[in-house]
Amino acid sequence: MRDFEVGQVVFSKCGRDKGHAFIVISLEEEYAYLADGDLRKLASPKRKKYKHIQGTLEVIQDLKQNIIEENVSDAHIRKGIKAYLVKTSI
């Protein structure tokens, strides 16, 4: 059912944030909680159903470890997304 994991870069497929990049912060039965460190901070992550997000093959391992250890900040999230977008735009 869900092919997502914590620390993965995903894109919103619908809604007013369509096409926006996020990092998966946590997963539940039907929902993924997403943050981008800018509009959606770690303190109030976006809740989206799995069918409304498009996964990528990119899982940022240091970010994943920091999220699991609850030692992550919004700046880390922003850096991870920015690094992914720069890497894929080449």
Residue 37 belongs to domain with CATH number: 2.30.30
Tens of pLDDT along the chain (90 residues)? 468 999 999 999 999 999 999 999 999 999 999 999 999 999 999 999 999 999 999 999 999 999 999 999 999 999 999 999 999 886
* Paired residues of 26 in beta bridges: 33
Per the structure, the complete domain to which residue 45 belongs is given by 8-88
In a domain, 65, yes or no: yes
Residue 25 CA to residue 89 CA, distance in Å, equals 24
Residue 75 vs residues 38, 44, 52, 72: alpha-carbon distances, Å: 8, 15, 25, 8
> In residues, how long is the chain?
90
In a domain, 3, yes or no: no
Predicted local distance difference test score (pLDDT) of residue 1: 45
In a domain, 41, yes or no: yes
Residue 64 CA to residue 17 CA, distance in Å, equals 23
In a domain, 25, yes or no: yes
In a domain, 2, yes or no: no
Domain count, the chain: 1
In a domain, 78, yes or no: yes
In a domain, 77, yes or no: yes
